Structure formats: C-alpha cells, structure tokens
Structure 1
Amino acid sequence: MEQLTPIDYAYVNGDKWEYIGTGEPMPIFTYNKNTNEYLAGIYKERQLSDPAEMQAYVSQHVRSKALEAHIKNAVEQAKKEWKEECDGWVKSPETIEARLQKEPYFIRAWYERRLSWLKRSRAQKHSDAFLTKTVKQALLRLTETRKHHTVRPYKLLSAYYQNLYPHLPGMDKPRIKTLANEIAARVAEMLDAEIERLGGMDNVSEKDVIDVYRMLAAEVFSLRVNVPGWQALKPKKDRCGRDKLPPVDPAFSEIARMVSADWWERQLWRLRCDWREDLFRASNQVHRKAHPYISQDGMKEFTEQRQRNSEFFRNHELEDEDGKRASLQAMVLGSVSNPALRRNELMVRMQGVEFVAQERGDVGVFYTITCPSRYHATNHKGRMNDKWDHTRPPEAQRYLSKLWANIGSKLGRKGLRVYGFRVAEPHHDSTPHWHLLLFMRPEERKEITRIIHTYATKMDKEELVPDARARFNVKRMDPRKGSATAYIAKYISKNIDGYALDGEIDDETGKPLKDTAKFATAWASRYRIRQYQPIGQPPVTVWRELRKLNNQLVSILMQNNQYDPKKPLLADKAMDNILAAADVGCWASFVDLMGGVLIPRENYVVGIRYEDKDEPNAYGEIVERIYGIYSRIVGEASTVCTRSKKWKIVPKKSGSTEAEEQGTDTTDKGSLVFLGGFAAPRSSVNNSPLAEILNKNGRGINRTVPTAQCVFTVGKESVSEGGDNSQPTKKRKKKQLSKKVLRVITEGIASVNTDLTQEQAEKLAADGSIEIGSERYFISLNGRCLDNGRRKQPLSEPKPPVCVPGSSPVTPEITRLTDQLDELLHLTGITTPPEALARQLLAGKPLILRDEHYYLENGVIRVIRTAAAYKKRQQVVAAELQKKEAKREQKAASILARVEKMRINNT
C-alpha cells in the first residue's frame, strides 16, 4: 500500500491554500502527489543512500492507517465545500451581486455604475438580466484569469506569499516598494543560510556557486518572476550525457540581482501592471465601446509617467568630465524618443527600401496576419468572446513571432528571400496583429504568398470556413494607384503620433485616428511590444552613428575654417560615400553602399565598434557601450570614434535661464537648412564634441548652418539623363524661401551663370531647379542638391548620393510653431490641438499648460513658472470641475423628470 507523507495534502479555500498535517515548514503541495516520487526526491536531496537511513526517515513521516483515512475524508470534505462555495454564487442575481462586491474597487466600479443606473431607470428584469449574463460571465472570466496570477507551489517563497500575491494588482507604488524590500531580504537570508551550510565563502567551489544560483532561481521563479541569466546557467548536458558546468562569473551578477530591492521593485511593478491589465481585459473593460487598446487605468498611468519624465528632463542636465553642461530636454527632443523624429526616420527608411526594390525590379506585397479567435478577449462588437482561452497580448505576440520564424525557415528551405518592414498594432481588445510590407522577385510572389497563407491559417483552420480573410489577407502593391510608402504611411503614423490623419477614422475603434494614436503608443509600452521591425536590411544604429559623426566633423571643420564640401570627411572612400548617404537622409543609397539587402549582418561594409565601460554596473557587470564605427573591409585601423565624451545626468543649476529650461530655441537666426538632411542626427546621450563646440550657452545642440557659411553652386544636366529608376513624381508644393536666402542664391547664380536672365535666376532660386530647352539647372548647397524634383541617380553609380527622400519644405510661421508645440505636447501628455495654441501665441496671448505660462518672444517660445501662474491654474481647474458637476446634476435632473413623466403616463 502506498505510504503518504504529512505534506501531501492541500486544497484551495477562496483565494488561498489550506493544508492538513504537521509536516516541515514547506506546506504547499498537491493532494494527488505520488509519494514514492516525493520520497525519491527527498532521498536524493538529503543524500540518503543507506537503506537503514531511508527506513528511519520514512518511519518518522508515515502515519497510521486510521489517521490516513481521517485525513483523506477531511480532504474530500474540504474539496466538496470549496466546490460548492465556488459554484453556489451563480444561482441567483442576489448571489452574483454579492460576489461582485468581493472584487477590488477598480474592477467592480464600472459594473456598479451600470447596475445603479439600471436599477434607477429600468425595471427589475433588466438589472437581473445584466447580473445573470454580463456580470456572471465577467466574474467567471476573472476567476479563470486569476488562476494564472498565483504563485507556483513547492518552494519556500511561494509558501510565504501565497496569500498576498492575489492582491498584487491592487497595490500602489509604496506598497510594491515595501514588498520588494521584504522579498529581497528573504532571498538574501536564504543565500546566507546556504553559504553557511557550505562552510563559508572560502569553501565554496564554482559548482557550489552554480548550485546556489539554481536554488535561488527556483525560488524566484515560484513568484512568477523571470529568472535573470537562466538560459546561460540552466542545467545542460554534454555529448556524453554528463552535467556541463557553465561559466561561473555571470552567476555572481545574477545572484546580486536576486538580492537587490531595486531589481525586485521593477519586477513586481511590471508584474502588477501586467496582471492588472489582464483583469481589465477579462472583465470586458478593454474594447472599442469601452476603452480601446488599453484600459483607462493603464492609459492614465502611462500619461502620468510621461509627465514625470518630462518634469525630470526639465529639472536635469547633462554634464561632461570638464563640467560643461547641455540641456537634457533638448537632447531628448532631438532623439528618436521624439515621436515626430521617430516617424520621420521610419518614413525615410520605408521610402528608401521602396527605391531599392524598384532598382532590383522587385514587387511589393502587403500582408495582414491575425491571431486565432482563442487569443481575442472580445469580438468585433465588444461582446465577450466564449472562445478566449485567457491568453495575454504578449503571448499572442510570441505566437506571431514563432509563426513568422516558421515561415522564414520554410522560405529559406525553398530558397525564397523577402525584405521589407513589419508593423505590429493592436486590435480594439489589445490583441496584436501584424502588417508586413514585403518585397520579392515577381516570379516568386505566388509561392511566397502560398507559404505564408498556409502557416497563417494552420491553427484552428476549421473556424475560417468559408472565408480565411479574418486570419490572413494579402494585397499586391500597384504603382499606378500609389507607392508602397504611401500605403504604409498611415499604419506608421496611427501608431506613433497621428500625424496628418485629421478626419481619418480608425476601423478598429470607430474613433478618430488622431485620438487613438496615443492609445496605441501606451499599449506598446505596457506590453513591451516592438511596433516596427525591418526585415533583411542594414541595422539602423550604423545609420544614426554616421549621421552623428558627419555633424561632428562638419562642425569642427567649420569652427576651424577648414570645411570644403568637395573634400571627403573620411579617409576610406567606401566609408565616406556611406557617410554622405546617411548625412543627406537617402536610405536607398545607404543600403546599396552598405552591400544591399538580404545579406548576413557581418557582411555589411560598416559596423559598430563597442568598448567596455570603465566602471561596472550595480550588479558588478562590465557592460559594453558604443565607441564608434569601423569598416569591416579595412579592419581595426578604420575605427572612428563617435562618442568621445562621457556624460552624466545631474540636477539643473538654480541659475538656469528660461531658454535653458525650455530647450526649444536651439537654432540661430541666420539658419537655412538642417545638417544631416531630413532628420537631425540621433543621440541617446550625445557623447560628441558637438555639444562642446555649438552648445556654449547651454541651449541645446545647434544643428543648422549659418547663411554666411553656405556655399551655393549651380549644376546642369540633360533632361533625358539615363539611369532613371524613379516613378513619375507628383507635382509638389514649392519651397517658400525667405527673401534674404533668395537674394543670396540669386546673387550667386548671377556671378557664375551669365547665360541665365534675372527672371530665370529668381525662378531657379525659388524652385530649386529650372528647365530651359533640353537642359535642367539645379542648385546645390555645400555639395548637397536642394532640388526635390530632380530625378534620383542610379544606385549602381559610385557617385555620392544627392537625393533627399522625404525632405520637408520650409513652412510658414504657423506651421513652425505647430511643430514645436506638437513635440512639447507629446512630452507633457496634453491632447490639445497644437494649431489652435499656435494661433493663440501669434495673437499675443499667453498659453497656460499645466502649471506653466508659455508666450512668444522674437519668434521663440518662452516659459515662466510662478506661484501666481500655479494659483491661477488651480482656480481654472476648480471652476471647470464646478461647471462639470453642475452640468451633471442638470442632466440627472432632466433624466429623473423624464422617468417621472413616463411613470405618470403609465399609471
């Protein structure tokens, strides 16, 4: 007869576990556990090999048959009572409402408001139907979801926190911080006990360190926290089947993480936010008719976090080793953290890939891949989906990633290659789906489409009869109807900042795309989902470092009066051509000069050079940082440093000026165009000499060229020039250059081109190009072509690229202010239309945003922060709240009057 141990029995009682017996203090096990397997594990753990020792241990843990029968009956009774308690509340509306009251406030509040309105305004049957259908289904879904929000059994930490973990989604930051300190202390205590058991640190071998790490990792994993470094340090076998000892150095850093309170605070807060969002999805509060993409609570936390980030940027600066400072806020606005710059860069890259495809003769196909219905919490109408298996959006994203990996493997076996872009965006219920714009050979298009269709519809294929477009859709790009870049531009903008989408309606939510863009950004941030990913292209990090390097070199040469646009900036010709392509913002030329598409990453011409940091991080690791770029053809000798300075973030000095606080006035009055083309060079924390040379007043990096330093030249070419690989371009809006710039260009034209009349010279200066007979004249600035309409040079020619895809024209004052305000509003989380604010500034009226006053002075937006401004803002907010409350009371009185009138008519 099978022998049982004291800790074999446990059962669920409400939201916690109960157990029977007086076993050792690790009580949480299962009531169906095989005792022989359990004892075998104990023998191995305690290294009991002698039969006498085994028998002695078993005799201490075996109960009598009478006690066994009593425990078994008690367990069966407890299971029966627990099942009745779980199932009994679904029998009547009253019990369902009582069960609803046990839910945390952030879950039940929405249902209570709805239920209260039904009881006041409708008959009893309506509220009962709402309880027995909607509320009941939501509560059942919440119960199933919480099964994934518990600790994993069999470990000491799970025994400590089994009753506390179900309340994790309702905790705030201070409570999470307290819990993190407590768990870190317990893990440190377990570490000390294990080291003491091994005889102290002097007696610990490398194998012991790995064993200690794995023991602590199992404890951490029981709390649903991903164990750091597990893939490298988990048990592995060699070819002979023996245990393979991994490197011991990473184990020390990972153990340091597991005993760090700061690390635990980040992990627990992430877990809390994920579980909280899961409960909102399960209770049907995330869909097109409630709050699309992300819950209202999650959107509020995202907005507040952005406001805190913005405040931090305003109150801190960057300081180098020499004590010189730069504006942190201006640095952030000049990086890809700025949504406008991020969108611009994506559009430039997308247009460049399209040019590459045209040169290669490839065709573009647009695919849409959606997850099966089991991944969707609600249907398209906002009703709860019965097929949902309680999977989370990150799990759906992993499904799509694995699906694409399988598709790529199949294409590789068939010898088929594709390149392009992948866009991940949410459905209204926050389930992700993918849009893929892929380019391929025309003769391979049908086979590639067939393979993608087969894999995309493989799971749950029976639900796709008769139409598979719910899971997979395909559309071939037709150049006669528009470019591929124009087609995907909407998907890029709608998931970043909603630029140029005024009046557009979202198909998923039925709401304006301008409003839902911030929801998509919050969704990606909450679930840590990468929205945009290139396929088969060079890394964009090289592009950004090259643009930064060009800006540095040109600035240094200009300061020393040594800049000559005809001379190369780098000694290696191939690297210099790639540098020029990145500088003018021509992604197509950059890709072509780097080696093309669909080649291994190590075969690209230019790569990133890394170096170890001087100091270890908080966990004792020596991490790498970007040092510069180098040519893989030339080798180490071609390395060029792009980050020569080291910066640290420090609090802003009390004597900072208003311009320093704002950080938006970063250009000189005589500026003409931006160096680096369409988008300024990126900087995470810009470690370049540029901050020292051009940031003398602490007003941010000056990325423009003064007019006095501009060298204008006029070029001439035949209109029927060969090698054209571009489509017929649409008529574009002419550049509106200032009178001063027009005069400078016109004088330069007259001095070098006597065959042009004054009228023709002025037209050339205004348009950038002019056709006279069979010749085309165009203007170059410092060797860069200013003509947007000039046809692109063939990619096969070894000339430095001169096209500037996607470059934007100089706009009037209202558009310039709108762009500045748009960046400011994105950082502060304010949703007011920037066009109206720009008009208010031009009218001479100040803006009051949050607790700050903004006004226009000499074309520059300034900010003041005073107690009077703060007090005035508080008064305005109070008045608005009173107005809303009065309007709400008036509406409620009107509803009550109508209800009373209906009651009188019915009687």
Structure 2
Amino acid sequence: MLNDMSENQAGYAFAWNTPKSAINPYLDPPDPVQKSALREVIALYAADNRRHQKPGESLRNAVWDRYFFNADRDPVLREIAQDKLTGQARMARERQRFNPEQTVMDDIHAQPAWIARPLLQRIAFLKNLSRPGPCQRYLCATVRPCLDRLTRVRDDQTGPSIRQMAGHPGLEGLLVLSDMNQNQVKRLSALVAAHMAGRLESACSLLPLDNDVQPEAIRRVWEQLAAEVMRLEVIPPAFEQLKRKRHRRRPVSYDRIPGSLARMICTTWWYRRLWQRRCEWREEQLRAVCLVSRKTSPYISREMALYKREQRRKSLEFFRAHELINEHGDRLEMEAVVRASTSHPVRRRNEMMACLKGLELIAEMRGDRAIFYTLTCPSRFHATLSHGQPNPMWAGTTVRQSSEYLVGVFAAFRKAMHKAGLRWYGIRVAEPHHDGTVHWHLLCFMPPGDCSAITALLRRFAIKEDRQELGKVTEPRFKANAIDSRKGTPTGYIAKYISKNIDGRGLGKHISKETGTSLRDSAEHVTSWASLHRIQQFRFFGIPGRQAWRELRLLAGQVNRQHNGRKAGAPVLADRRLDAVLAAADAGCFATYISRQGGVLVPRRQYLVRTAYELSDVQNKYGDRSRRIYGIWSPLTKERICTHSFKWKRVRKTSGGQISPGRGHLFTPWTRGNNCPHGEKINAHHRIRVQRKEEETIKDFKNEHK
C-alpha cells in the first residue's frame, strides 16, 4: 500500500494534486448525523403534520369518488365492467356445458364447511369406486337439485322482516345465523338486546314525566316493543295475556308487562331464542341437501345428534356436581333426584305402560273397542324419498310445520266429532319418518257402534288436503287397524312404539323397515329429534290428568313413611271418596284411579282430585313469581293438601362435604323435591301431622328411595 502511494505521488509535485475519487451517495456510507434538540422538534412537527393530512386526503378522495368520479356514470368503465361480467358468464356457461360436474363441485366448495364436508366425503367415496357412473349421477341427480333447494330454504328463513331487522347497525349477523357458533350467537344476542333497549327507551320518552301514568299508556309502550320483537319472528313473552282481543274473557294482566319488558331487553333471553333458531335453521338446511335420511343419518343430522349427546353428558356432570339441601339441613344427591323422577327414561316408560294398562282395563269393563290409527303428512312435507333422493314435491316446509299440520287436522276432526256426538279416549304418539317429518300413531278406545263413523270421519280429514296425489289408495296418508284380542292386547300392540320413542328397551333385535337399523340404536336419534324440534311425543286424551296421579302417589308415600304402624286400608283423608282415589293411586292401579275420579270422557271440572298450584315466594331476575305445584285439592272439601312442604336449594358439592362458598348458597329455591324426606309436614286440616324423627339419618332416607 505504501509503495503504491509513493508511485502515485511520484508523478505529482505535491500530494494535494493527486486526483480524488468520485462521490457516490448510493455506495458511500452517509456521514453520521449529529442529534440535537432542534432536529428532534422538527421531526415531531413533520410527523404530526403528516398525520393530520391523511384524514383530509382520504376525505377528499372519498368525496371525489362519490360525487365527481362515479364508475357507474362513466360509460367507458361501465362498458368494461359489463364486458367482464359477460365474459365470466359465457365462460361459466361453456364450462357447465362441457364439464357440469365441475360446476357442481365449485358450488359445493362455496358452501359452509358443515354442509360441504359431508357432501365431499360422499363424493370421495363414490370416486374411489371402479366406475365413474355413480359419482356423476350423484352430482347431477342429487347434489344439483339439493343446492337449488338449499337456496330456497335460506330465502324462506331470512324473510323480509328478518332482512329489514338486519339493516340496523350491528344486526347483519341475522342473515348468517345458521353459520354462527355459540360465542358468535352470544354477541349477536347482546346486540339484539341493546337494539330492543334503545327502542324501549325511545318509546318511554313519549310518556309523561309525572307519576300519573296510566296502565294503558304502558301497554302501548309494550305493544311497540312487541311489534319490534315479532319482526324477528319471535313471540313476545305474555303475548296472549296482553294482546288486544275483540272478545276478552278475562281482564288484561297489566302486572305481566314489567316481566315481559325485562325479558325482551335481556341478553340471556335472546340467546336462548336465537340459539334455538340457529339449530333449527341449520337442521332444515341439512334436510334440504338430503343429509337427514335413511341413507345418511335417520331422523336427525349427525352434527345435531352429537350436539345433543354432548348436551346430555354436560347435564349429567352438572347433576353429579350439585346436591339439594332444605332448611332442616337434609341433603339429597341431585343425580338421585333426577333418576327418581319421571324424566328418567325407565320410570317414564314404566309409568306410561301402567297408564295404558289401566286404559285397557277400563275399555274392557265398558265394552269399548280399540283401533290403531296412523296419520301421515302430504308429500309436500317430506324432504327426502325413501331411497335417499330429493323429493320433487317438497315445498320447503319444516319439521315444525309438519307437526302443526297434524295438530290442525286433529283439532278440526275433534270439533266435527264432538258436533256429531261421538267420543273416544286413548293416547297419541308422535314419531319421525326417516327424513324427520312427523307422523302420528293413535290408540283409541270407543264404543263398537261408533267405530265406523269415527274412522270414516277421521279418514276424511286426514286425506282432505292434496287429495289428488293419493288417487284411490289412501294408505300412504291414513291407516286404521282394529285390535284383535285373539292376537294380542292393545297395550302389547303399542308397547313397541312407546319403547322406541324413549329408550328402545327390549327392541335390540327389531329392525326398522324404514331406516334398516335397530330400534334400540335409533332411540337416541328419536329423542334428540323431539328435543330439537320441540315435539310432544306422547299425549293422553279423554282421561283424568296424570299429574294428580303423581301427587297422590307422593302423598301416599309420605303418609306411609310417617305412619309405619298404620293399618292397611285405614282412612287417610277425611272424605271417603277422596280417600278411595288416594288408595287407588297408592296401589298403582290406574284403572281404579280413573273410575274413582269419575271415569273417562268426563269434563275436567267434574274430577274429584286436581293438581293445586301456587306462586313462588321468591321472584326471578325478571321480577316475576313463577307458578309451581303445591299439592292437590278437591272441589268437595275446597281445601288444599301440600305435598311439597320443604323448600330445596341447589348447591355445589365440595370434597369436604360442605356447601361451596361460591355461588351455591346464593341460589334461589330451584325445586321442592320430587321425593320429600321422612319428616314431611302435611296440612293440619287433614289430620296427618307427624313430628320429624331426629334419629332418622340421611343414609336411611336414601335407602328408602332405592
């Protein structure tokens, strides 16, 4: 390096005459900038100036694009956009002509995952077959019309009123409610509740400021908010009690207005309604694409069946984590109480079979005849055919609408039957077809001379709608089978229908002709179907109420526990006729219970024993006092007998056996128990007052209920 410098300097007299290298700001490193207070102030001022200029520039650009530069008004840009859309449509038409399967696949991929996933799994299975025909037929003959039906179902679900409500700020999620999860539905519920609260505030602003506000003025405020709620196709609370009627039998219940208003602005109340609607909408969309059928998942979709199973598991965990405690310190396992109630499938089935046997014995004593009817909805209610293909006659109706159709048919028939002077009694069972559509089975008892008239009248109402699709054969819509006592009893005939709609007890070897699966295995889907669509599965008619039967059995059990040395058959109640009804219920003979109550086909006002109700002592969070069962009462004595004297609280279990210090001790009374302790104190007017024994332990109490 020194040698090179010496050689370069040798040609020049002085060192400063040596040529310098050129300055390149892109290659040479910049000189370090010295920091100073003035330089920092200038930098902050420039950054603040740029921050203030950005909103103004964006506003100017928005004003320019909206008022001065509109693409729709520009003929050149409009022509370019039109040519682009025309080209896309032409390309899609050509692709559909030469490759229609790919068009269907694109439509499937555009659907939500809970619809696209099962369809793609089915398509992948068909593609793995050795021949391409089944996959092509499935895409063109099944999936394509299913997607068209799905579009119509979505349009029906989001009607004009829903779309109008979705136009409010924050309520756009109403249009995609079926695609939401629970957290998203909770947020949407909060927004809907806030919207209703704003409507309520604007309606209340028109009321006078003084305290002299008339109830009718508050009712008009309720009507305004109720009208807003009904735009979401939700029935407001206490609607029947508060709506205006031309001929009102009872006065208006103005005390129901505060609780109704509190519910309509409550997030929790809206969450329950919206989540129920979300589940129903999603299930109906799955029915539209034939994912609820005997070929895929009978009665209910796989997704909803898994959700209901998980819901039952969480309920069982909740029962196991809580217990009930009364004011005397007695404790009950909450799981044991649930298992001892009629909500348990085994006890529910046993009680229904006992009641049916009682009806059979009553019919034998009266000489009545038993006939088994089957009612089915018209074709426009069935979404899927038996072989899994979409039904071209389906009108987009829901499962709930099919149930309401049968209810309407039965109501019209009952009115005509009573007008003709005919009577019957029995039980109605509602169960699903393979696609979820409701159909009814009825086991009815009637005098032999009225069988032909009742059957003809019921047949006329059952096939009245869409009569042309039946022709001369009416069995697809209506069937009537007379029970032959030489082949079996009416109870034995309907026992299969009772069991397969509860738990499938004893039906493991029976295969359903409609679904091809075991009746015991399909019982879970049936109960989930009834829970989702809010279908009442069983209904007795023409007989005394079964709730009074339960309360009498509870009262008899309390008396037997208190009077261990009581002589069998000794009178319990003061009135001999009431004591006879109590003895029949205690013996478990439903036929004797019906006879002692007055018999079948008797008006309710003539029953000797009825269920007594009372208002709860504690108000709920909406300020209402709920109606609960008190016991029994009779018009003969005009007095009530309490069968639920103890008040129970639900508390959380702890490892040490103590009440959880969290929320457990703050819970309001949840129930007063299905089975009361030994020391039950009953109304003193009926001479059944026994002091509580101190030596009885909780362990003995539990053993008595096993």
TM bucket, shorter chain: 0.7 to 0.9
- Of the three residues 354, 371, 388, the one matched with 2:377 is 371
Structure 2 CA distance, aligned partners of 1:345 and 1:255? Answer: 40
Distance in 2 of aligned mates of 1:628 and 1:231: 27
Q: Kindly report which structure 2 residues correspond to 1:133-532, keeping only aligned pairs within 5 A, or say none.
A: 133-150=141-158, 152-153=160-161, 159-160=168-169, 163-200=172-209, 202=211, 204-237=213-246, 246-532=252-538
Equivalent of 2:101 in 93, 99, 103: 93
Asked if structure 2 preserves the Cα contact closer than 8 Å seen for 1:327 and 1:700, the reply is no
Q: Distance in 1 between matches of 2:573 and 2:302?
A: 52
Q: Would the alpha carbon gap of residues 323 and 385 (structure 1) be closer, same or farther in structure 2, given more than 3 Å must change?
A: same
In structure 2, runs of 5+ residues without a counterpart are 1-74, 659-670, 681-691
Q: Which moved more, 1:230-239 or 1:460-469?
A: 230-239
Please give the TM-score of this superposition, normalised by the length of structure 1: 0.62
Give the C-alpha shift of residue 111 in structure 1.
1.3
What SS does the aligned partner of 2:698 have?
coil
The 1-side partners of 2:603 and 2:113 are apart by 53
1:164 is paired with a residue of what secondary structure?
Answer: helix
The corresponding residue for 2:121 is 113
Residues 612 and 102 from structure 1, CA distance in 2 versus in 1: closer, same or farther, beyond 3 angstroms? same
Give the CA deviation at 1:500.
Answer: 1.3
Is the CA contact (8 Å cut-off) linking 1:613 and 1:623 kept in structure 2? yes
Q: Is the 8 A contact 1:543 1:582 kept in 2?
A: yes
Q: Which has more radius of gyration? A: 2
- Hey, what's the Cα distance between the residues in 2 that align with 1:251 and 1:310? 36
Counterpart Cα distance in 2 of 1:700 and 1:391 = 52
C-alpha separation between the residues in 2 aligned to 1:609 and 1:125? 67
Deviation at 1:449, TM superposition (A): 0.6
Among 526, 533, 536, the alignment partner of 2:539 is 533
Secondary structure of the residue that 2:568 maps to in structure 1? coil
1:688 equivalent in alignment to 2:676: yes
Letter aligned with residue 182 of structure 2: K
Shift of 1:634: 2.2
Between the aligned partners of 1:281 and 1:315, the Cα distance in structure 2 is 37
**Which residue of structure 2 aligns with residue 553 of structure 1?**
559
**1:354 and 1:543 mapped to 2: Cα distance?**
17
Secondary structure of 2:481's match?
strand
Q: 1:199 to 1:460 in 2, by over 3 A?
A: same
1:633 paired to 2:645: no
Deviation for aligned residue 1:131: 2.5
Given residue 148 of structure 1, which amino acid in structure 2 is its aligned partner? D
Q: Is the 8 A contact 2:580 2:596 kept in 1?
A: yes
The answer to whether 1:644 aligns with 2:645 is yes
TM-score after normalising by structure 2? 0.79
Deviations 1:812-868 (A, max 9, x none): xxxxxxxx9xxxxxxxxxxxxxxxxxxxxxxxxxxxxxxxxxxxxxxxxxxxxxxxx
Residue 237 of structure 1 and its aligned partner are, at CA, apart by 3.9
Distance 1:157 1:144 in 2: 19
1:567-591 CA distance string (max 9 Å, x none)? 1122221111111111111000000
**Separation in structure 2 between the aligned mates of residue 291 and residue 328 of structure 1, nearest angstrom:** 34
Q: Secondary structure at the match of 1:569?
A: coil
- C-alpha offsets along residues 515-538 of structure 1, whole Å, 9 cap, x if unaligned? 111111111111111111001000
Q: CA deviation at 1:691?
A: 7.4
Please list the CA deviations of residues 359-403 of structure 1 after superposition, one character each: whole Å capped at 9, or x if unmatched.
Answer: 011111111111111100111222210101111111111111111
- 8 A Cα contact 2:96 2:102, kept in partner: no
Distance 1:485 1:125 in 2: 50
**Distance in 2, Cα, partners of 1:594 & 1:307:** 40
Q: CA deviation at 1:207?
A: 2.8
Q: Distance in 1 between matches of 2:539 and 2:96?
A: 47
Structure 1 position 211, deviation (Å):
2.0
User: Match of 1:310, as an amino acid?
Assistant: L
Q: What's the offset of the Cα at 1:649? A: 0.9
1:320–1:648 Cα contact (<8 Å) kept = yes
Structure 1 residues 618 and 90: CA distance shift in structure 2, 3 A: farther
Alpha-carbon distance change, 200 to 701 in structure 1, aligned in 2, over 3 angstroms:
farther
Whole-Å separation in 2 of the counterparts to 1:161 and 1:542: 49
Q: What letter is aligned with 2:234?
A: V
Counterpart residue identity of residue 417, structure 2: L
1:750-782 deviation per Cα after TM superposition (whole angstroms, max 9, x unaligned): xxxxxxxxxxxxxxxxxxxxxxxxxxxxxxxxx
Paired residues of 1:292 and 1:429 also in contact (CA < 8 A)? yes
Distance 1:536 1:158 in 2: 50
SS at match of 1:383: coil
When residues 442 and 314 of structure 1 are mapped into structure 2, their CA distance, relative to the original with a 3 A threshold, is same
Asked if structure 1 preserves the Cα contact closer than 8 Å seen for 2:644 and 2:673, the reply is: no
In the TM superposition, residue 90 of structure 1 has moved relative to its aligned partner by: 7.2
Within 5 Å, give how 1:30-45 maps onto structure 2: none
Q: How far, CA to CA, are the matches of 1:548 and 1:440 in structure 2?
A: 32
Q: Is the 8 A contact 1:335 1:684 kept in 2?
A: no
- Seen in structure 2, the aligned counterparts of structure 1 residues 306 and 210 have a Cα distance that, compared at 3 Å, is same
Residue 687 to residue 336, structure 1, CA distance change in 2 (3 Å): closer
Per-residue CA distance 1:542-572 (angstroms, 9 max, x = gap): 00001100110110112xxx42214112222
Q: CA deviation at 1:150?
A: 1.1
1:557-596 equivalence runs, <5 A: 557-558=563-564, 562-596=565-599
Gaps of 5+ in 1: 1-69, 658-682, 705-819, 821-907
Give the deviation of 1:274 after TM superposition: 0.5
Q: 1:493 to 1:123 in 2, by over 3 A?
A: closer
Shift of 1:204: 4.5
Q: Distance in 2 between matches of 1:245 and 1:641?
A: 29
Relative to 1, partners in 2 of residues 1:158 and 1:608: Cα closer, same or farther, differing over 3 Å? farther
Indicate if the aligned counterparts of 1:213 and 1:251 stay in contact, CA closer than 8 A: yes
Could you say if the C-alpha distance between residues 371 and 126 of structure 1 is closer, same or farther in structure 2, counting changes exceeding 3 Å?
closer
Question: Is 1:622 the counterpart of 2:625 in the alignment?
Answer: yes
Structure 1 residues 117 and 356, CA, compared in 2 at 3 Å: closer, same or farther?
Answer: closer
- Percent identity (aligned): 39
CA distance in 2, matches of 1:409, 1:161: 48
Counterpart-to-counterpart distance in 1, 2:567 and 2:521: 47
Q: Tell me by how many angstroms 1:463 deviates.
A: 1.3
Q: How does 1:40-79 map to 2 (within 5 A)?
A: none
* Offset, 1:541: 0.3
SS of 1:135's equivalent in the other structure is: helix
- Tell me, yes or no, if the aligned pair for 1:690 and 1:701 is still in contact at 8 Å: no
